[in-house]
């Protein structure tokens, strides 16, 4: 597409954009050229990973600070390659559906469609209602929250995913968290990194945990 505003600057989609009139072959050639130069996956693949967080997770679990929620046989995992060429287990069933305040409130058809697809595929899942907001909108848009509160919510939700099957008489860890909101996912990954490297942050979260009557730190 080319800009129609006359000065060569991007001015959004709509009337300011006109078709390039490329043939299908030309359009594919242009797409291939761009992908070869700026595709993020191509840029990252093969680079040396700076840190394997699993090493820290195993040590914290050994020290009794966390419980690691593992992908087990009950999740019928499939193997996939990461951008760094590592093997990663991807759970395909017995999934715990994480809710997103923004996603569910503004795009209600999105989480509903995920559940519909899983119903069609005959996969087992838990449509969990006992969770707190992910707080990711707060994380992006206001000064009300802080790292401690974000970490507490993160761990509380992941703990809930870990123990949720007990109400059905099933073992802890039966259901594995499925976070299909990109904002929540990014928030949790960043907060996990802070928790792994900051003993003071973990201590602050333990105080909150104790005030709520206690719950273990469960991390994926």
Q: In the chain, what are the domain boundaries?
A: 2-38, 53-219
Q: Are 146 and 205 a contacting pair, CB within 8 Å? A: no
| pLDDT value, residue 180 | 80
Which of 144, 154, 164 minimizes the C-alpha distance to 209? Answer: 154
| pLDDT value, residue 100 | 76
Report d(CA 113, CA 117) in Å as an integer: 6
Report d(CA 165, CA 69) in Å as an integer: 13
Q: Where are the alpha helices (DSSP H) in 45-173?
A: 53-62, 101-106, 109-121, 136-141, 147-163
| pLDDT value, residue 23 | 86
Bridge partners (DSSP) of residue 176 are: 95
Q: What is the pTM of this model?
A: 0.71
List CB contacts of 83: < 8 A, sequence separation 6 or more: 41, 44, 45, 47
Below-70 pLDDT ranges, the chain: 1-19, 37-50, 101-106, 136-145, 213-220
């Amino acid at each position: 597409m080319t800009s129609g505003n006359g000065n060569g600057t991007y001015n959004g989609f709509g009337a300011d954009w006109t078709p390039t009139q490329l043939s299908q072959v030309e359009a594919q050639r242009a797409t291939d050229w761009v992908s070869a130069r700026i595709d993020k996956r191509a840029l990252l693949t093969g680079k040396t990973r700076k840190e394997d967080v699993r090493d820290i997770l195993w040590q914290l679990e050994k020290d009794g600070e966390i419980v690691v929620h593992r992908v087990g046989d009950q999740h019928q995992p499939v193997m996939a390659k990461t951008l760094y060429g590592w093997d990663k287990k991807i759970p395909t069933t017995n999934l715990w559906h994480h809710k997103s305040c923004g996603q569910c409130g503004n795009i209600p058809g999105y989480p509903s469609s995920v559940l519909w697809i899983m119903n069609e595929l005959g996969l087992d899942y838990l449509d969990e209602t006992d969770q707190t907001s992910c707080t990711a909108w707060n994380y992006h848009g206001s000064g009300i929250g802080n790292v401690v509160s974000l970490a507490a919510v993160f761990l509380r939700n992941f703990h809930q995913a870990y123990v949720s099957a007990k109400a059905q008489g099933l073992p802890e860890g039966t259901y594995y968290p499925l976070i299909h909101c990109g904002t929540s996912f990014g928030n949790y990954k960043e907060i996990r990194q802070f928790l792994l490297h900051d003993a003071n942050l973990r201590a602050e979260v333990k105080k909150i945990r104790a005030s709520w009557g206690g719950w273990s730190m469960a991390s994926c």
